[in-house]
Structure 1
Amino acid sequence: MSHIVMIQTEVRDPEAVAAACRRLGLPEPIRGTAELYSGEAAGLLIRLPGWRYPAVVDAAAGRILYDNYGGAWGEQVQLDRFLQRYALEKARIEAHRRGHAVVEQALPDGSVRLTIHVGGAS
């Protein structure tokens, strides 16, 4: 039996943040404080390609703080790509912790099908 699941992502897991950065070829996130145009933000700093300011993961609140000035200081697609990869990595980590096998398939529209085999069965 298969199920389709829609996920609204809260970014809370530093391990999954780091895994997403690695998979996207981004620099490792570092804990710190960043000066955004609108003020300071503290958390895990993510350097997205072409972005003027880092995106800052506030894991306690489950959110990402950023300032891309409506796309003028960084393309939204870069953040969207990171969020997609974070959700996939978090699902993969949790599935593996429970002993399940995971198969990932990139789809032509840019989405990803993640199949989790309960109990590790193929």
Structure 2
Amino acid sequence: MSHVVQIKTQVRDAAAVRAGCSRLGLDAPVEGEVKLFSETVNGLAVRLKDWRYPVVFDLTTGESKFDNYQGRWGRQGRLDEFLQAYAVEKTKIEARRKGYSVAEHRLADGSIKVSLTVGGAS
């Protein structure tokens, strides 16, 4: 039986953040204090391609902080791409932890279809 799921992404898993960075060819995330334009924040910092400042994730709350100056210092699409990669990687981690096999397919519209099958981790 097939189920379609939409996910509002909260970033809480450092391993999935690392996997998302690797998937997109980004530098490994860095934990610590990060200076954005107008404030300093703590968390797991990810440098997105062509962004002036990193996105910083608070893994405790799931929130993200960033300053892209309404797209002038970084396109929203890059953050959306990372959140999609994070969600796929987190789904795969959790599915494999439960013993499901996982397959993914990129669709023509840029979305990713992740299929889980009970039994046999892949």
Measure how far apart 1:121 and its partner are. 8.3
**CA deviation digits over 1:45-103, x for unaligned, max 9?**
10001111010011011011100000000011100000000000000000000111000
Name the count of aligned residue pairs: 122
Secondary structure of 1:120's aligned partner:
coil
Q: Are residue 72 (structure 1) and residue 72 (structure 2) matched? A: yes
Measure how far apart 1:119 and its partner are. 1.6
Could you tell me which residue of structure 1 aligns to residue 35 of structure 2?
35
For normalisation by structure 2, the TM-score amounts to 0.97
* CA RMSD, Structure 1 to Structure 2 (Å): 1.3
**Structure 2: how far apart are the matches of 1:74 and 1:121?**
37
Unaligned runs of 5+ in 1: none
For normalisation by structure 1, the TM-score amounts to 0.97
Q: Retained in 1: the 8 A contact 2:20–2:86?
A: yes
Percent of residue pairs bearing the same amino acid type = 52
Segments of 4+ moved more than 4 angstroms: none
